[in-house]
Structure 1
Amino acid sequence: MSASLSALLQGGEVLHLPARVTHARRGGIRHAFAYGVDYLLLDPDRARPRTFFSRNRFNLFALHDRDHGGPRGAGDGAAWARKVFAGAGLTEVTVALMIQPRFLGYWFCPVSFWLALRGDRLLAVIAEVNNTFGQRHSYLCHHAGFAPIAPGDELTATKAFHVSPFQDMRGTYHFRFAISTAGAAISIHQIDGKEGLIATMHGALAPATPMRLLGAALKRPGGAMRVIVLIYWNALRLKLKGAGYRPLPSPPDQEVSR
């Protein structure tokens, strides 16, 4: 892919990312797992529909605007992300979204990423986090003055949102992003003293052709349904290891941590 990432997405291309996702819990109770997950990278307003993928329509894989950007289940899609970026002082960028799409109408995505791009330069990221209790919170990550985010750069945010019922509402997130036309690698390291979690995802990007999408459905059947089953399965494993359950706190007042 010789064109810049922005140019590809503005041209309506949808890219497939068969990602390897890992989670490793640190501290008194250790737990780790890894599995494959299918992400798509696209410009929501320009993505061309194709066999097995649609926008705001039922298909094998689909993006529905209401699933992302703003209140969960009532989102505004890319318009919300542009508003958040502009409110922070960043305009005239390509807004892209990296998602786990709906699968046969079913949706759940633990974390999606809104990207602000100029050419191949990544200037800011909104990490849109969903928990299994129907709540959502987002973290806006960028350098001062929106200097480009390089692969080795670390961006931090204070944890403000309850994700796992087996972790306290404390600590700091350390984000790293490496995204290009060749692939994507993202790591999120939550540090809370000697406790914490390291989550990573990485994979190569390629056009989301019908054969690639069909192959993904056959290789990792269930899509988002499979992901939610894996989440509950690992929650059970943690409980059996003796992890204590934390009650659900109220969500943060603000929609986005900046």
Structure 2
Amino acid sequence: MTTGASAVTASALYAGRVMHQRLRPAKHRLSYRVFSLLLDIDELPALARRLRLFSLNRFNLFSLHERDYGAGEAADGRGLRPYVERQLVAAGLRAGGAIRLLSMPRILGYAFNPLSVYYCDHPDGSGLQAILYEVNNTFGQRHSYLIAVDAAGRDGRDIAQRCDKQFHVSPFLGLDLRYDFRMQAPDAARPGLAIGITVADDTGPVLVARFDAKRRALGDAALAAVFFSHPLLTLKVVGAIHWEALRLWIKGARFHACPAAPAQSVTIAGTKDS
């Protein structure tokens, strides 16, 4: 069984653990093993040809369906790049650089991604210029936040970003909150990946979430290994979301009804410095 990793080097597999810790008013903590694929969107056709266990826009053990992302129009055959570049141009940024998507694939045809992250490089190869955070909730809605990367985070080692919350996610968190992101971007020269998100109000942090993972070469052997070590992961994610919501409700957390999604599908925010 071929690994397919020798010909496609930018894409990779990241396996690790996600942790959420709610700080107030009801304390609550969860931690689960998960994995995500880091996919250079220009490599997707080559990956689908080389890997037996991964397909693009069709059923397989693992697959990525472009209609699951963005505005869904990538199903017309144009792919994800035009969608992401349209958001970059709307933010006054340049198109043409590498774009890497960190996301859970479909497993046996099913996927749910609470968060997918697009790392968007400068066209001149000088480093990151923006990150697009794509959020899905369990009510069938999707919204994204596009944040430019400041000079300090361009090398991907220490990225700090902030934006106001615009989109309903948890029924136990309102909208009058902000997100603070601290992360290291994926890099073939670094074995680890870290994404930290703090949800805060004017008083201070309300919830802290982290994803810490180790990089693996993306090939059939690695995919088979995570299929058996993380069986039916995407189904478990949805089950875990509802189970943890029940536990929070029992603890007395306040319920917030789901409002309509924002009129604009993408919120363009500034860097932390701005």
TM-score, length basis structure 2: 0.84
From the superposition, tell whether residues 226 and 9 of structure 1 become closer, same or farther in structure 2 (CA, over 3 Å): farther
Q: What are the within-5 Å matches in structure 2 for residues 76-95 of structure 1?
A: 77-88=80-91, 89-95=93-99
Q: What are the within-5 Å matches in structure 2 for residues 217-228 of structure 1?
A: 217-228=227-238
Bigger CA drift: 245-254 or 73-82? Answer: 73-82
TM superposition shift of 1:226:
1.1
Distance 1:248 1:94 in 2: 35
Q: What are the within-5 Å matches in structure 2 for residues 166-177 of structure 1?
A: 166-177=172-183
Partner-residue secondary structure (3-state), 2:67: helix
From the superposition, tell whether residues 31 and 72 of structure 1 become closer, same or farther in structure 2 (CA, over 3 Å): farther
TM superposition shift of 1:208:
1.5
- Number of equivalent positions: 251
Corresponding residue number in structure 1 for 2:108: 104
**Does structure 1 residue 132 correspond to structure 2 residue 133?**
no
Distance 2:155 2:28 in 1: 31
Corresponding residue number in structure 1 for 2:56: 55
Give the conservation status (yes or no) of the 8 Å contact 2:128–2:149. no
Partner-residue secondary structure (3-state), 1:51: coil
TM superposition shift of 1:125:
0.6
Give the conservation status (yes or no) of the 8 Å contact 1:25–1:198. yes
From the superposition, tell whether residues 149 and 13 of structure 1 become closer, same or farther in structure 2 (CA, over 3 Å): closer
TM superposition shift of 1:157:
0.4
Q: What are the within-5 Å matches in structure 2 for residues 1-258 of structure 1?
A: 11=8, 13-47=10-44, 48-49=47-48, 50-71=51-72, 77-88=80-91, 89-118=93-122, 119=125, 121-143=127-149, 148=154, 150-179=156-185, 180-181=187-188, 182=190, 183-192=192-201, 193-194=203-204, 196-258=206-268
What amino acid maps onto 1:205 in structure 2? Answer: R
What amino acid maps onto 2:34 in structure 1? Answer: V
Identity %: 34
Distance 2:24 2:134 in 1: 26
Corresponding residue number in structure 1 for 2:272: none
Please, which runs of 5 or more residues in structure 2 have no aligned partner? Answer: 269-274
Runs of 4+ that moved beyond 4 A: 8-13, 71-76, 144-147
Give the conservation status (yes or no) of the 8 Å contact 2:174–2:256. yes
Distance 2:228 2:126 in 1: 32
Distance 2:161 2:255 in 1: 29
Give the conservation status (yes or no) of the 8 Å contact 1:185–1:203. yes
Partner-residue secondary structure (3-state), 1:213: helix
Partner-residue secondary structure (3-state), 1:227: helix
Give the conservation status (yes or no) of the 8 Å contact 2:160–2:180. yes
Distance 2:90 2:205 in 1: 34
What amino acid maps onto 2:28 in structure 1? Answer: H
Distance 1:71 1:11 in 2: 26
Please, which runs of 5 or more residues in structure 1 have no aligned partner? Answer: 1-7
Partner-residue secondary structure (3-state), 1:196: strand
Q: C-alpha deviations, 1:177-224, integer Å up to 9, x for none? A: 202212321111110124521111011112122111111111111121
TM superposition shift of 1:9:
11
Corresponding residue number in structure 2 for 1:4: none
